[in-house]
Amino acid sequence: MSPSTAAVPGSSIIRGARSDAESRAVAAAIAIPAVVVQSKGHGHAGTAMAMAPLAHVLFHRVLRHNPADPEWEGRDRFILSAGHASLLLYTQLHLSGYDLDLSDIAMSRTLGARTPGHPELGVTPGVEMSTGPLGQGFASAIGLAISLRRDESLHDAHEGVWGADVFTLAGDGCLQEGVSAEAASLAGALGVDNLVAIWDDNRITIDGPTDLAFSENVRERFRAYGWRVLDIVDFHDLDEIERILTVARERTGQPTLVAVRSVIASPSTSIEGTSAAHAGALGELETANVLATLGFSPDSTLTTLVDDSVREVTRETQSRGVDLHRKWQEREELWRAHHPQLAHRRDELMLSAPLRMPPAVSAAVESALDAVTRTDIETPTATRKTNGAVIAALASKGVLFGGSADLSGSTNVAIPGDAVSASHPEGDFIHFGIREHAMAAILSGIALHGLWRPYGSTYLAFSDYQRPSIRLAALMNLPTTYIYTHDSVAVGEDGPTHQPVEQIASLRTVPGLSVIRPADAAEVVSAWRAVLSGPASPVAFVLSRQDVPALPPRENLDDKVRQGAYVVWQHGEGDDIALIATGSEVALILESAREIARDGTAVRVISMPCVEWFEHADSEWRQSVLPDAIRARVAVEAGRGDVWYRWVGLNGRVVGIDEFGESGSGSEVLARKGITVSAVVSAARETLAATASA
């Protein structure tokens, strides 16, 4: 190698650069993570270093994006499933011209920084999703691709406006997590061909080589799923990377896995290819060696790494993005002129899009909900049945998109129409198969697209399979809707494996998740009105398998349910004792209250369909429903009672179920577990006595 060639940073390892400046830009992108992590003593540099050439090609040659408008609807999406490599993403966002400075990168992993330790939606411009828990980004990318492909199929009319692609970068850890297997299997079955999953095949995990616990042939596994598999052999060859990624985005009827055989932390001679490269600083000497190998001064800083030549070549991506955006706008104008009905329909969806603050509720949607109200609220009926009528009504108006984990008939979310398939991407609903975890992650991807409110259904006992995805949806404030039926031991004969006990209480511990357990058909419809018109956030509907009685007529029920709790009935002033319940137990406490009232006790019955909404109601409303002066309180719910002690106080009582159920009829199991009128009345007498003597 001649001295002149060696003097160009990056030229010793980077191949296929179009100029010396591009070679230096890629070398700088490799060096930045090493320098940042060394300066802090913590962080993840290894993957960010190894994947820097690929990320450079992706952001500067392949992705359709506009750094000046991160929310441009026509953009491709990139999700970093291997979220620990956040410096990889932050570096490319900065170099591409997003509103992110080198100082922001230097501040990564510090309190209040715009560059948190793992990517977070809404914190860093250009970040499409919060990631970090492995496999979640991969699975949600599939949901995003499904939704974008449906949008294209329904609205594009071959005009090239709504045809965005989704790229995701996953590591060995992502592909070991079960959620990625579930999601990849479904993606193959549905032929999601606007998806490119890039697999960093570095064969290293924290404990050591992947072959400690991972011996499968990943390429053949994905082929068996129905994916196309491509290989990048030289992870430092920019032209090879570009060629393979360009082929990968071609629509072939299959999702594509691009396998990149990389070496973690390359070009570090001492720790590359080892588990030591996953996290932590390289060390002062080794960082200097990496810089020298790349052709930089060993004492280089971020500002000297990113010199004028680097900025000049990488900021060409800004002008490229503006040009791509302009041409897209021209196509969009033609699309609107040629297909005004499609444009109007899509615009209507955007007006009610759940990510708007707040979304609009169209007259058509209100009419659909009114129709459900007229037909379902006056006779005893299972709340799952009424909810199913709402799902069908809203889906017919194009507001919802989702499906069930192989339980649509039982959870009552079956709707007319055709399912999404490889040949029918515009389908009305998704058969998720027996994949509860992937379903929840895919719902997040649909929500990230933003055009439809996603829903998915299963039995409440199986919500535990979904917790990592629910948690991320809550972290991102996504408007995902989880439909859970068979809500208590009243499930009956299927026994304790299918009878939820701890699930409702557990779901209520997730910050930002609203858990809604309606007492009757009317509450179901009112709760949906509140959800559709409220700010973006995830909700879980918890619904009964068994019929529940219709409660007495209530005025202004929509407003009352929106506040989370309200007084259903009271005797006298209702100021001696308050009985509180959710779901099917509201009818139980109403019967109990009438018995208690026979001796003149002023009792009130409170339905609290959503604890979280009541917590956020204003104090005046909370006091009108549950005034401090009422110290005798009983809360009743057919599950663990942990949350209710906040509302009943030290002298109150909770009637709940703190042990697993049994196999038998629902009414028999409820009685065996103490969810009875006599148990409620007894608890009421106890708390009345306790408060009287206190």
Q: Look at residue 376 in the predicted model and tell me its pLDDT.
A: 63
Asked whether 391 and 413 are in contact (CB, 8 A), the reply is: yes
β pairing state of 256-260 and 228-232: parallel
pLDDT digits (tens, 9 = 90+) for 241-289: 999 999 999 999 999 999 999 999 999 999 999 999 999 999 999 999 9
- Nearest CA-CA partner of 362 in 453, 240, 260, 430: 453
Asked whether 606 and 625 are in contact (CB, 8 A), the reply is: yes
Cα(455)–Cα(428) distance, rounded to whole angstroms? 12
Q: Look at residue 373 in the predicted model and tell me its pLDDT.
A: 86
Alpha-helical runs (H) found in 316-362: 316-338, 340-351
Cα(235)–Cα(650) distance, rounded to whole angstroms? 64
Q: What global pTM score does this model have?
A: 0.97
Cα(547)–Cα(644) distance, rounded to whole angstroms? 25
Cα(16)–Cα(482) distance, rounded to whole angstroms? 48
Tell me the Cα Rg of the chain.
28
Which residues, given as ranges, of the chain have pLDDT below 50? 1-6
Q: Look at residue 96 in the predicted model and tell me its pLDDT.
A: 98
The label of the residue with tokens 């404990």 reads 207
Cα(409)–Cα(540) distance, rounded to whole angstroms? 19
Q: For 403-440, b where at least 16 C-beta lie within 10 A, e where not — what string?
A: bbbbbbebbbbbbeeeebeeeebebbbbbbbebbbbbb
Q: Which residues pair with 208 in a beta bridge?
A: 205
Tell me the catalytic residues: 436
Domains recognised in the chain with CATH numbers:
42-279+310-322 (3.40.50.970), 363-548 (3.40.50.970), 565-693 (3.40.50.920)
- Eight-state DSSP code of residue 120: -
Cα(184)–Cα(455) distance, rounded to whole angstroms? 20
- Cα–Cα–Cα angle for 241, 242, 243, nearest 5°? 95
To which H or E segment does residue 611 belong? helix 611-616
